[in-house]
Amino acid sequence: MNLTLKIWRQKNASDKGKMVDYKVNDISPDMSFLEMLDVLNEQLVNNDESPVAFDHDCREGICGMCSLYINGEAHGPDRGITTCQLHMRMFKDGDTITIEPFRATAFPVVKDLIVDRSSFDRIQHAGGFISVNTSGNTIDANAIPVNKHDADKAFEAATCIGCGACVASCKNSSAMLFVGAKVSQFALLPQGQVEATDRVLNMVKQMDEEGFGNCTNTGACEVECPKGISLENIARMNREYLAASIKG
Amino acid sequence: MSGILNSSIGRKFAMALSALFLMIFLLQHFAINLLSVFSADTFNEVSHFMGTFWAVQYVMQPVLIFGVIFHFVMGFVLELKNNKARQVSYAKNNGAANSSWMSRNMIWSGLAILAFIVLHFIDFWIPEINTKYIVGDMSGLHNGEFRYFHELVEKFHSPLRVGAYVIAFIFLALHLLHGFNSAFQSVGANNKYTKGMKTFSKVYAIGIPLGFIFIALFHHLTGH
C-alpha cells in the first residue's frame, strides 16, 4: 500500500504547530498503525529529519498510551480498539490519512502527537481510590459478599484504561465517561461506600477545574471507547453526585 | 448543596429539569391547540379560562417564562464553556461516525426554536398581554363573541407564517429527538426502562411537533 499521511507537527508545547504531508510506500496491510508510523520514522531519520513523536507502550491494546485521532476518530475507524490494534487493512492503497493528537484544553500537546493527560491522574488522586488498613489485620476483600450483578458492573467500569478517547471524541471535550467509570467501579462495591460522598464530589470538582467540558449526552464517548465503557456509568455518577451534594 | 449550579453535573441537572418542565408544558399547549380543530367553542372557553384564571396568569405563566429563559441562557452558557474546553479544532473530525446530527447541533436547533418563540410572542402573547393588561379588557370578547378562535385562524391565513411555523416545528422535533432522552440520562435515569423510554421519546419528539404542524395546516387549508 502507498499512502499519503497528513500529520500534525508541533515542536513543543508553545509552538503553533501545523499539518505536514508525508508519503509512505510498500506498507503491508498486516502492519499495525503504529508499525506504519515506525516505517515513516525510519524514513525520516534516514533523511536526517525529525521523527514524528507519538505515545505508545504495550502495543497489546491494554495500556491506553497511543492517543491518536485518525481520519476524524479517536484510535481510527475501527471499534473497541486502541491505535496499536488498528491494522492497515482498514485502509486502501492510495488513501490519505489525517493523524492528529487528541484535542482538549485539558490535554495540552507536548510534542507532535503526544499530549499531556496528567489531568486524568489528578482526577484519580482527588478520589479514585479506597483506603484500606494495612497494619497487619487487613480483611480479605473476598470475605465481603458482593452481589454478582454489581460485581460485574464494577468490573466493567474498572476496565477503563484512561486513554482519553472519550474526551477526544466528545464535541465538548467532556471527561465524564472516564470519571463516571472511576466513580462507578467503587460506588458499586461495599469497599467503596466509606469514601463515596467525598469521592464523587472531589473527583467532579477536579474534573471541572481541569477545564473539561460539560457532557451533552451525544454518546460519542461510548462508541469510541476501546473498552466499551457504558453511558450508564455517567448516569450513575450523576446520581452519586446529586445525592452527595444534598448530603454535603 | 451550595454551589451545585457551579458544577458541570449540577448545570446538566438544571438543564434537564427545565427541559422536562418545558416538555410537560408543550404537551399541555398541544392539547389545548388541538381543541381548535374539533370545536371552536371549546377552544374559546379553555383559552378564556387559561387567559384569565389567576393561578395560570400570575403563577404558572411567570414560572413558564422563567423556565424558557433559564433553559436558553443555560444552553448558551454551556455552549460557551464547552467551546473553551477545545480551543484548537481538529483538522478532520468525523462526528457522524459516533453520534447523531441532532445531538451535535442542539445549539442550532435551539436557536431556531428561540427565533420561533420571538415570532410566536409577537403573533399571540404580546397582543394578548396588551389587550388584557394595558387596554384592560379581560372580557375575551370582540363584537360580542369570544375572539380567541378567530385570532388563531386569522394568523394562519398567511402561507409565509404557516411555512415559518412548519420549519420551526421540524427544528423542535430535531431538538426533542436528542433532548427528551438526554434529560433522563442527565438526571441519572439510565436503567432497564431506558430502551422503552427511548422509544417513547421518539414518539413524543416526532408526534407533538407533527401535531402542531397538522393544526397550523388544518386552519390554513380549511380557513376556519
Distance from CA of A15 to the nearest CA of B (A): 13
Cell numbers given for B84: 473553551
In a mutational test of the B interface, the residue from A79, A217, A246 whose CB has the highest number of chain B CBs within 10 Å is A217
Cut 0.90: pTM above it: yes
What is the mean predicted confidence (pLDDT) over B8-32? Answer: 96
Cβ contact A216–B8 (<8 Å): no
Residue in this structure with the C-alpha cell 515506525, named with its chain if needed: A38
Query: What is the pLDDT at residue A235?
Result: 97
Query: What is the pLDDT at residue A76?
Result: 97
Number of CB atoms found within 10 A of residue A17's CB: 18
Number of domains in chain B: 1
Cβ contact A234–B87 (<8 Å): no
- Within chain A, residue ranges assigned H as helices are 33-46, 118-127, 148-158, 165-169, 176-187, 196-209, 220-224, 232-247
Can you give the residue range of the structural domain that contains B18?
Answer: 7-84+101-222
Interface predicted TM-score (ipTM) over 0.85: yes
Evaluate whether residue B89 is within a structural domain.
no
Q: What is the CATH number of domain A117-247?
A: 1.10.1060.10
- The 10s digit of each residue's pLDDT in B2-14 is 577 889 999 999 9
CA dist A200 to A106, A218, A234, B27, B54, Å? 19, 22, 12, 36, 44
Cβ contact B92–A8 (<8 Å): no
Helices and strands per DSSP (H, E), number in chain A: 8, 7
Evaluate whether residue B90 is within a structural domain.
no
Q: 3-state class of A73 per DSSP?
A: strand
Lowest mean pLDDT among A109-123, B26-40, B137-151: B137-151
Cβ proximity of B85 and A173 under 8 Å = yes
- The 10s digit of each residue's pLDDT in A177-189 is 999 999 999 999 9
What are the backbone angles phi and psi of residue B146, rounded to the nearest 5°? -60, 135
State whether the Cα torsion A73-B87-B84-A198 is positive or negative: positive
Homologous superfamily (CATH) for A3-111: Beta-grasp domain (3.10.20.30)
Residue in this structure with the C-alpha cell 408544558, named with its chain if needed: B25
In a mutational test of the B interface, the residue from A105, A218, A221, A225 whose CB has the highest number of chain B CBs within 10 Å is A218
DSSP for A9-47, written as a single string: E-SSTTS--EEEEEEE-S--TTSBHHHHHHHHHHHHHHT
Helix axes B106-120, B159-186, angle to 10 degrees: 130
In which band, very low, low, confident or very high, does the pLDDT at A140 lie, cut at 50, 70 and 90?
Answer: confident
Query: What is the pLDDT at residue A111?
Result: 98
Helices and strands per DSSP (H, E), number in chain B: 10, 2
How many degrees, rounded to 5, is the angle at CA B203 between CA B210 and CA B102? 80
Interface of B with A (CB under 8 A): 1, 4, 7-13, 78, 81-82, 84-95, 97-100, 103-104, 106, 178, 181-182, 185-191
- The 10s digit of each residue's pLDDT in A216-240 is 999 999 999 999 999 999 999 999 9
Evaluate whether residue B96 is within a structural domain.
no
Distance from CA of B36 to the nearest CA of A (A): 37
Cβ proximity of A42 and A135 under 8 Å = no
Evaluate whether residue B132 is within a structural domain.
yes
Closest in A105, A169, A217 to B98, CB measured: A169
Task: Give A 204-233 residues with CB within 8 A of chain B.
Answer: 204-205, 207-208, 211-220, 223-224, 231-232
Cell numbers given for A211: 477545564
A19 in contact with chain B, both atoms CB, cutoff 8 A: yes
Give the residue from A41, A50, A39 showing the smallest Cα distance to A10: A50
What are the backbone angles phi and psi of residue B138, rounded to the nearest 5°? -95, 5
Cβ proximity of A206 and A212 under 8 Å = no
What are the extents of the domains in chain A? 3-111, 117-247
Q: Which long-range contacts (CB under 8 A, 24 or more apart) does B40-46 make?
A: B40/B149, B40/B224, B41/B146, B43/B148, B43/B149, B43/B152, B44/B140, B44/B146, B44/B148, B44/B149, B45/B146
Give the residue from A167, A168, A170 showing the smallest Cα distance to A218: A170
